[in-house]
Structures are given as C-alpha cells and as structure tokens.
Amino acid sequence: MTIAYTSDLHVDSSKENARIPQAILRILKEKKPDVFIITGDICHSLKTLEEVLSIFKSLSCTKLFVPGNHDIWAHGEYTNSYIKYYDLLPKAAKKNDFIPVWIEPYVTGDYGFCGSMGWYDYSFKPENLNISENIYKEKIYEGYTWMDKIYAIFINDEKVISDKDITMLLYKNFIEQYREISKNVKKIITLFHHVPFREMILHRKYPVWNFFATYMGSDCFGDFLIESKKIELVLYGHSHIKQQKKIIRPTMTHPFTVVSSPFGYFRSEGLRPESRWHRERLSFIEV
C-alpha cells in the first residue's frame, strides 16, 4: 500500500502556499497512491478548507484527514472550536470524500487508521526554563503570543475547557478509537497533528523558541503508542520540520516509524523553486 502524506499547507498565509493544493493534485495524479493523508493546518476558514478538500475530489484513492489547531480556530461566525472539531469539520471532510479519522477510524485489509488532532498539557515544557505553569496557561512570553490563546476556544456545557482537559478529552477519544479497530487488524497507522513524542521537538538556545515548543504536543499520546503492540507508523504535523525516526519499544523487538512531512510557511520554510518544495514535502510511504 502506498501512502501519500503531508500537513501544514497554511493556504491562507501566502500566494505560494495557496498554490500547494493544485501542485499536490498534479503529483498525486502522476503517482497514483492508494491513500492520501493530510494531518491538519490547512487554514483558519471553514469555507476555504472545504474548497481545498474539494480540489482532491477527482482522486480515486482513499483520502484521510485530521485537523490542526489552525483548522479549529474560532473566528467570524464560528465561535466555538469544540463545535468545529466534533461537528463542522467532520461534515466538511465527508462532503468532499475525506474520511474524518478522528471521528471514524478506517480499516483496509490488515491495516487500521485512527487519529486525533492531539493537544498540549504543558508536559513538553523545557526543563531548563524555571517558569510557573500559570505562565504557560497565559501563552505569552517576552512579548510574543501563542495565538491559540485568542482563537482556540473549546466550549462545552457553556464552560471554556482548559488545555489539560482538552488534551485528556482528545486522548480518551483516541484510545477508544484504537481499541475499536485493534480487535480487527494486524497493524495500526496513527495520524496526529500535534507532535506525539518529545524527542521529535527541536530545541534551540533561544528561551523564546523553547518556551513555545511547550505547545507542540503532549507526552500522553506518545506514552500510549510506545506500549501499543500493533502500531506500525505514526504520522504528525504542526512542527513544520520534516523528520523521520524509528522509535524503540523497550518491551518489544520491533520499532515503529514516526514521520512528519509538513509544508509550513513559504516565506520562512519554503524551498526554491516551488516545484522542489512540493515534491519534497509531499511524502510517499510504502507499508
């Protein structure tokens, strides 16, 4: 089975990013994968996200999607990220022939696919910064703001849900998915937007960079994956860094592979010419 995979298109960030979907479509028609996967951060606007997903409607392969933090941002007429995540985005995906695997796991042959947007509970906070948890909750450091503070607003039963509670809610959803399909498949491929393993985070000598790395993900997802016998492949996005790593499981003989293949923002992370960027950041994986 050939999987085509990418994330972090950010089509609303520049004219170059806006050209990504059509470029991907051309490559997919040439390569003809069995499965095409996007793990989040297409754009802020639900209308634009639907337009992007609709570009791939002509493809005959299976198409899978999990949203990112930018996709669930509440703004304009959509003021609740909880509703976007659990209702509006699944409808937008299915309308355009993408399976919303954070809601509906997918099984084909011996393989099962399940996933989650993931979130952060400050378990990725750097050990060398002596900062209280209240500062991480505020998401402001040395004049810079993590914009989820303004736009990621999860409201349920008229209460705003904290980051730790969002993480636990999505984690429990993921565990339920995993257990649902684990009985019927030999191997499982998991899809996340946020980073599931601390070792995949790039830390630098700059305190500001390391502070905001706290919002890359949570240990709880990675801890579960390490103990999960059927995990074959983990795909994620969010960090804008292309990586591949083998994860060794202490109690098992075989490792599993963790891959990110994001586009990110062209102005800071794009490759020239654009055609090189398109082909490098749309990865093909054989399983």
Residues 6+ apart with CB under 8 A from 223: none
CA 111 to chain centre: 20
Q: What is the pLDDT of residue 77?
A: 74
Per-residue pLDDT 10s for the chain (287 aa) are 999 999 999 999 999 999 999 999 999 999 999 999 999 999 999 999 999 999 999 999 999 999 999 999 997 777 899 999 999 999 999 999 999 999 999 999 999 999 999 999 999 998 888 899 999 999 999 999 999 999 999 999 999 999 999 999 999 999 999 999 999 999 999 999 999 999 999 888 889 999 999 999 999 999 999 999 999 999 999 999 999 999 988 877 789 999 999 999 999 999 999 999 999 999 999 99
Query: Which pLDDT tens digit goes with each residue over 215-233?
Result: 999 999 999 999 999 999 9
- Give the pair of three-digit tokens for residue 111: 């393989």
**Residue 221 lies in domain:** 2-286
108-138 pLDDT tens trace: 999 999 999 999 999 999 888 889 999 999 9
Backbone angles phi, psi at 112, to 5 degrees: -120, 145
Q: Which residues contact 83 (CB under 8 A, 6 or more apart)?
A: none
pLDDT at 117: 98
Specify the pLDDT at position 250: 83
| Environment class of 105 (CB within 10 Å of its CB; exposed 0-12, middle 13-18, buried 19+) | buried
Query: How much is the mean pLDDT over the chain?
Result: 96
CATH code at position 183:
3.60.21.10
66 sits in which H/E element = strand 62-66
Number of domains in the chain: 1
Exposed/middle/buried for residue 251 (C-beta within 10 Å: 0-12, 13-18, 19+): exposed
Task: Give the closest residue to 215 by CA, choosing from 241, 239, 199, 235.
Answer: 239
